[in-house]
């Protein structure tokens, strides 16, 4: 069985099993991702910096993010405008609902997209990876104001221009 990143004891094994060294930086990065659930590299950097130890340079954050991604321990998705969002891969048993209004990110079970997966497979033989699917739109709170999605023309003055957000 694959060791779980949730269990601090197993974390080391994950690295060792791949012939990689266990360093405090790696432990701290992985722990911080676990705490944040989903995070961009610089949020992660701040989280790691606040865990009591020394601050880690961004380059180390990035390198470890890459390593962890290669190991399949974490995965990235582009949910927002700026930096990609990383999360534990084992936590990726859902897809993301990203609100264009308030920026809120909700999770929904993969099952909601089962039909989609089947449809594109039947149509094109395309094997969809739903785990990282970012579904944009408007959450229950933001939708009321601007519900008209299915307007193709471009007549409507959408003003979801750009949002700063966090």
- Residues engaged in binding its own copies (CB under 8 A): 1-2, 5, 69-73, 75, 78, 88-93, 97, 99-100, 106, 108, 110-140, 143, 147, 149-150, 152-162, 164-165
Of the pair 60, 90, the CB lying nearest its own copies is at 90
- For residue 21, the partner it binds in its own copies, DNA, none, with Cβ less than 5 to 8 A by kind, is DNA
Q: Name the token pair of 61.
A: 């954050």
Instruction: Collect all residues with Cβ–Cβ distance below 8 Å to 150 and sequence separation of at least 6.
Output: none
Judged by CB, which is closer to its own copies: 60, or 69? Answer: 69
C-beta of residue 28 within 8 angstroms of C-beta of residue 36: no
| Cβ nearer to DNA, comparing 63 with 143 | 63
Quick one: which of 58, 52, 10 has its CA closest to 28?
A: 52
Residue 31 interacting with DNA (CB under 7 A): no
Between 52 and 145, CB nearer to its own copies: 145
If we measure between CA atoms, which residue out of 166, 104, 97, 107 comes closest to residue 136? 97
- With CB under 5 to 8 Å by kind, the binding choice for 62 among its own copies, DNA, none is DNA
Cα 28 to Cα 50: distance, rounded to the nearest angstrom: 10
């Amino acid at each position: 069985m694959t060791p779980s990143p949730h269990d601090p004891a197993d974390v080391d094994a994950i690295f060792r099993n791949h012939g990689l060294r266990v360093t405090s930086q790696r432990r701290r990065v992985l722990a911080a991702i676990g705490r944040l659930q989903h995070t961009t590299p610089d949020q992660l950097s701040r989280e790691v910096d606040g865990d009591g130890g020394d601050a880690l340079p961004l380059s180390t954050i990035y390198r470890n993010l890459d390593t962890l991604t290669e190991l399949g321990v974490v995965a990235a998705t582009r949910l927002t405008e700026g930096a990609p969002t990383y999360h534990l891969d084992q936590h990726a048993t859902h897809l993301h609902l990203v609100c264009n209004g308030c920026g809120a990110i909700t999770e929904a079970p993969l099952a909601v997209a089962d039909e989609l997966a089947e449809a594109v497979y039947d149509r094109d033989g395309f094997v969809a990876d739903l785990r990282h699917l970012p579904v944009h739109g408007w959450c229950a709170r933001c939708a009321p104001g601007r519900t008209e999605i299915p307007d193709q023309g471009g007549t409507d003055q959408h003003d979801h221009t750009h949002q700063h957000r966090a």
